[in-house]
């Protein structure tokens, strides 16, 4: 360990943790005593106790006290959080002069603060605040309660009109946010609790609502609820939804019909329905959101209509077109139509990126399996300077005390303006500490100088090599998967409950243990490094067997379950890159691209058999192709 500490430091650590407990219990006397003691000892994390002390009195603190604190601790990540809480307190007290003095200094993305700023700005007669408030309104997510005051002012001023309310309702219903939709609908005249119960009925059984015509089409609310019922049904039973649509479409005007065709098209494209592009055409000039634009492109890609793909990408907003994914597929569309010069102009630029699309672009240009560039290794002095950085030291100290979020925030802020050499020195410090995820994230940020051993580390290799060999797995692929799953954080646990380096779900662990004949298995064992790697590699072998030795499909199966990848195949062989790009689940789509991209760098680093990314992606067999039976 680089960051050592003495028995005296251990005592200070205990006092610091007791100070945090006092803050959580709102025991200001105990917190004050601990803070004063830690300050007198010049304890490295003592400023955090001052932050907690301020938070306990923030609602009553005067301007000079808070500004003095912010000036003194400006270099700390908690300073901006404190400023955000102070801004909220100022807004609640309607102290707009001080609020707008401090607001430009606030750097965090906090919607509650943004709503206060818009509300205060409107009260101050700022025209820009009206536009800010309108922009905040148009979202498909739930907003903090204080935002309602802004929207009340906008509605009272005639800026937030009925059409704006309906537009947001549609956004919310697209995400099935029923409760929030009900609140928004109450801004419309004539909407009562009985009307809102109809929304529950549509959500629970759209088929019954439509077939029995339970909701009239006379009112705007009735039409919107029927549109939502049709869209909701199209997600699970598209044929039935289309059949009902043919009977009901006369109840809607042209704009509504176009809107619904656009929604039908999106869901059809996600289901790989060849008719998706036709549905998009029937949507006419209805505006398409980002998701619809992308799935329209994927629908063309899926059926190999390169000319259509080119025009679809060209119709995207400039910011969307400039994303690596669409730059790559635009180049592929050009190349498929023999526009080689135009394709290469894009590919050359794209190939300079150390990313999934950068690798594919390089391979399209003909430079395949090139060696990694020479690594820059920081010297002892550069590492010493990094280690002596106060933010780096605080990050290491906070990690030692298991304050994970605070540790990462300290590191992020400390390294925010580092150049490549400083980033690599800091990454080396994190690596030596076994803080692998931070080492990777830091090394990933370099622009010209790189160290791929830090970007793609191989910890636990003695153990990993054996398990990969036992299961006849490509070690580079396994490492690429772990890097994406957990960044080598052995205690990592997902929101869904997956655990360890290879993020194994509890039920999957029990199934693997039974399959391996482990009668003494206990759920806690999955958190043990050895067991996690043993189970994870065993399950990877299982997915490879189930997916006919296709690494792409096996990777998708590891993330989304073994039943889905086969359903995502086409009726004929499909290029692996197209299959990966058209996976319906955004999480799995991103996952497989990153895992297989990682495996290229790991393969070069481990000296594995050279293999291009296209070879790793392979060709996905058509539906009905023979698949290996499960091995015993």
Q: What is the 3-state secondary structure (H, E, C) of 29-50?
A: HHHHHHHHHHHHCCCCCHHHHH
Mean pLDDT score, 26-35: 97
DSSP three-state, residue 559? helix
Mean pLDDT score, 412-434: 97
**Cβ atoms 526, 502 nearer than 8 A:** no
Burial class (CB in 10 A: 0-12, 13-18, 19+), 627: middle
| 27 or 609: which leads in pLDDT | 27
**Cβ atoms 350, 361 nearer than 8 A:** yes
- pLDDT band at 5, cuts 50/70/90? low
- Residue corresponding to tokens 């509504």: 256
Mean pLDDT score, 472-476: 97
Q: What is the pTM of this model?
A: 0.93
Residue 369 clears pLDDT 70, i.e. is over it: no
Mean pLDDT score, 62-66: 95
pLDDT at position 623: 84
Mean pLDDT of the chain: 94
| 496 or 157: which leads in pLDDT | 157
- pLDDT band at 498, cuts 50/70/90? confident
Closest CA to 523 of 89, 514, 109, 306: 514
Residue 628 clears pLDDT 90, i.e. is over it: no
pLDDT at position 8: 58
DSSP code for 516:
T
Sequence-distant contacts of 351-357: CB under 8 A, at least 24 apart: 353/324, 354/450, 354/455, 354/601, 355/324, 355/597, 356/593, 356/594, 356/596, 356/597, 356/613, 357/324, 357/325, 357/327, 357/328
Residue 609 clears pLDDT 90, i.e. is over it: no
- pLDDT band at 630, cuts 50/70/90? very low
C-alpha to C-alpha distance for 13 and 16, rounded to whole angstroms: 5
Could you report how far apart the first and last alpha carbons of the chain are, in Å? 43
CA angle (101, 103, 106) in 5-degree steps:
130
How does pLDDT run across 200-248, given as a tens digit for each residue? 999 999 999 999 999 999 999 999 999 999 999 999 999 999 999 999 9
Residue 1 clears pLDDT 50, i.e. is over it: no
- pLDDT band at 370, cuts 50/70/90? low
How does pLDDT run across 508-561, given as a tens digit for each residue? 999 999 999 998 899 889 999 999 999 999 999 999 999 999 999 999 999 999
- pLDDT band at 331, cuts 50/70/90? very high
Closest CA to 322 of 353, 299, 301: 353
- pLDDT band at 374, cuts 50/70/90? confident
C-alpha to C-alpha distance for 38 and 11, rounded to whole angstroms: 10
pLDDT at position 497: 84
Residue 626 clears pLDDT 60, i.e. is over it: no
Of all helices (H) and strands (E), which one includes residue 619?
strand 619-620
Query: What residues pair up with 575 in beta bridges, in sequence order?
Result: 619
How does pLDDT run across 562-584, given as a tens digit for each residue? 999 999 999 999 999 999 999 99
pLDDT at position 493: 80
Residue 6 clears pLDDT 90, i.e. is over it: no
Neighbours of 529 (CB within 10 A): 15
Residue 631 clears pLDDT 70, i.e. is over it: no
- pLDDT band at 7, cuts 50/70/90? low
Active-site residue numbers? 485
What region does 575 belong to: left with phi over 0, alpha with psi -120 to 50, or beta?
beta
Mean pLDDT score, 251-256: 97
On the CB side of 292, CA atoms within 13 Å amount to: 20
Query: What residues pair up with 94 in beta bridges, in sequence order?
Result: none
Residue 167 clears pLDDT 90, i.e. is over it: yes
pLDDT at position 230: 98
The runs of H, that is alpha helices, within 486-550 are 506-515, 529-546
Closest CA to 52 of 40, 33, 422, 245: 33
DSSP three-state, residue 554? helix
Closest CA to 357 of 136, 25, 613, 16: 613
C-alpha to C-alpha distance for 47 and 522, rounded to whole angstroms: 42
How does pLDDT run across 587-600, given as a tens digit for each residue? 999 999 999 999 99
pLDDT at position 194: 87
How does pLDDT run across 257-273, given as a tens digit for each residue? 999 999 999 999 999 99
- pLDDT band at 629, cuts 50/70/90? very low
- pLDDT band at 3, cuts 50/70/90? very low
pLDDT at position 608: 85
Residue 123's Cα: distance from chain center in Å?
36
């Amino acid at each position: 360990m680089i960051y050592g500490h003495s028995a005296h430091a251990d005592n200070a650590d205990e006092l610091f943790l007791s100070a945090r407990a006092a803050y959580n219990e709102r025991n200001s006397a105990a917190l004050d005593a601990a803070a004063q003691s830690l300050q007198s000892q010049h304890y490295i994390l003592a400023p955090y106790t001052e932050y907690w002390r301020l938070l306990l009195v923030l609602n009553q603190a005067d301007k000079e006290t808070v500004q003095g604190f912010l000036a003194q601790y400006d270099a700390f990540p908690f300073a901006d959080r404190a400023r955000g809480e102070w801004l909220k307190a100022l807004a609640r007290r309607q102290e707009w002069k001080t609020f707008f003095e401090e607001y430009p200094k606030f750097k965090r993305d906090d919607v509650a603060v943004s709503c206060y700023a818009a509300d205060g700005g409107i009260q101050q007669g700022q025209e820009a605040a009206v536009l800010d408030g309108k922009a905040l309104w148009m979202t498909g997510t739930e907003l903090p309660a204080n935002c309602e005051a802004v929207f009340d002012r906008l509605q009272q001023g005639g800026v937030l009109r009925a059409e704006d309310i309906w537009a947001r309702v549609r956004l919310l219903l697209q995400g099935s946010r029923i409760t929030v939709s009900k609140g928004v609908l109450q801004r419309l005249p004539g909407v009562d609790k009985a009307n809102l119960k109809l929304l529950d009925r549509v959500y629970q059984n759209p088929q019954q609502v439509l077939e029995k015509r339970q909701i009239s089409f006379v009112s705007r609310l009735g039409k919107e609820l029927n549109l939502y019922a049709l869209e909701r049904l199209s997600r699970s039973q598209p044929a039935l939804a289309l059949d009902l649509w043919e009977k009901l479409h006369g109840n809607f005007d042209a704009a509504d019909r176009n809107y619904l065709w656009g929604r039908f098209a999106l869901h059809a494209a996600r289901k790989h329905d060849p008719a998706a592009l036709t549905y998009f055409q029937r949507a006419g000039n209805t505006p398409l959101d980002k998701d619809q634009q992308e799935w329209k492109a994927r629908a063309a890609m899926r059926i190999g209509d390169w000319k259509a793909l080119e025009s679809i990408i060209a119709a995207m907003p400039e910011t969307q077109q400039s994303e690596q994914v669409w730059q790559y597929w635009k180049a592929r569309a050009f190349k498929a139509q023999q526009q080689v010069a135009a394709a290469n102009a894009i590919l050359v630029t794209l190939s300079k990126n150390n990313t999934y699309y950068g690798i594919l672009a390089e391979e399209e240009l003909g430079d395949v399996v090139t060696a990694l560039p020479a690594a820059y290794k920081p010297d002892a002095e550069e590492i010493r300077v990094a280690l002596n950085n106060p933010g780096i030291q605080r990050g290491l100290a906070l990690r030692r005390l298991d304050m994970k979020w605070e540790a990462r925030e300290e590191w992020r802020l400390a390294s925010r303006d580092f150049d490549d050499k400083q980033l690599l020195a800091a990454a080396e410090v994190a690596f030596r500490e076994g803080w692998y995820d931070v080492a990777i994230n830091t090394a990933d940020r370099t622009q010209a100088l790189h160290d791929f051993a830090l970007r793609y580390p191989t910890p636990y290799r003695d153990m990993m090599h054996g398990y990969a060999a036992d299961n006849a797995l490509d070690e580079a692929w396994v490492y690429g998967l772990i890097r994406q799953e957990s960044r080598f954080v052995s205690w990592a646990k997902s929101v869904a409950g997956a655990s360890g380096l290879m993020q194994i779900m509890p039920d999957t662990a029990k199934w693997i243990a039974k399959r391996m004949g482990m009668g003494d298995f206990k759920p806690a064992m999955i958190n043990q490094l050895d067991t996690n790697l043993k189970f994870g590699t065993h399950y990877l072998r299982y997915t490879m067997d189930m997916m006919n030795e296709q690494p792409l499909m096996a990777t998708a199966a590891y993330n989304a379950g073994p039943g889905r990848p086969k359903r995502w195949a086409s009726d004929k062989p499909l290029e692996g890159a197209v299959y990966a790009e058209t996976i319906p689940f955004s999480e799995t789509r991103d996952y497989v691209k990153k895992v297989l991209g990682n495996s290229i760098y790991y393969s070069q680093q481990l000296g594995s058999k050279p293999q291009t990314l296209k070879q790793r992606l392979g060709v996905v067999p058509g539906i009905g192709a023979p698949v290996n039976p499960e091995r015993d």
